Amino acid sequence: MYRLAPSILSANFAKLGQEVTDVIDSGADIIHFDVMDNHYVPNLTIGPLVCEALRPVTDAIIDVHLMVQPVDRIIPDFAKAGANIISFHPEASNHIDRTIGLIKEQGCKAGLVFNPATPLHYLDHVLDKLDLVLIMSVNPGFGGQTFIPEALNKLRAVRKRIDASGKDIMLEIDGGVKVDNIAEIARAGADTFVAGSAVYQAGKDADPHRYDSIVAAFRAELAKV
């Protein structure tokens, strides 16, 4: 099953609730929530208060992508704010296994995120504890960057490891996902697709159906795989 996860990083922040409900009504599956701290990455976005404000407006899964350092302090706040999945970068945690445990203790699904140059060996001893592996196909910090093709090789490698584990672990891709490359990305093994600018730049007017055609275009590409 393929899941489409629009990133609200590229949404209109002045009407975020509407941006979330409209994209889900158009057939998207998951809300990808990018948290940046101007420390781990050179940009600053949204935190637990915004997650808490969005929680009552949608039943969709809220997929929190933490690009923050340190990580642990903020995890309980996101769990209380209604996050369903919390993912973090291994370089940003001093104790990766502990951080995974903390996310799960708080009742959320746990994900580990790999930057373009981060080796997959961080999976060696924790894969069984994860619910999601997120492969970055851009360097984190900004929307609208170009997909780095090496991410396809990484997806193939992680797909093998997930299949060998026999566990139900989501394999998500984040960065530069467009209608013209999503099929190739799916063939490399991803099942969950973050798309920020491709989705939210597709609908700039007030029509509640403004995201229908872009979501349908992604689905049509995925149907070919």
- Report d(CA 150, CA 68) in Å as an integer: 24
Residues 203-222 touching ligand DX5, rule: CB under 6 A, are none
Residue 32 engages ligand DX5 in binding (rule: CB under 6 A): yes
Give yes or no: 29 in active site. Answer: no
- Report d(CA 168, CA 171) in Å as an integer: 10
First to last CA, the chain: 11
* Closer Cβ to ligand DX5, 101 or 115, answer by number: 115
88 neighbors 66 (Cβ within 8 angstroms): yes
- Report d(CA 95, CA 164) in Å as an integer: 25
Minimum separation from the CB atom of position 87 to ligand DX5 (A):
10
Q: What track of x and - describes contact with ligand DX5 for positions 5 through 24 (by CB under 6 A)? A: --x-xx--------------
Binding site members for a divalent metal cation: 32, 34, 65, 174
Give yes or no: 77 in active site. Answer: no
- Amino acid 49 reads L
- Amino acid 100 reads I
Q: Which residues are catalytic?
A: 34, 174
Which positions lie near ligand DX5, rule CB under 6 A? 7, 9-10, 32, 34, 65, 138, 140-141, 143-145, 174-177, 194-198
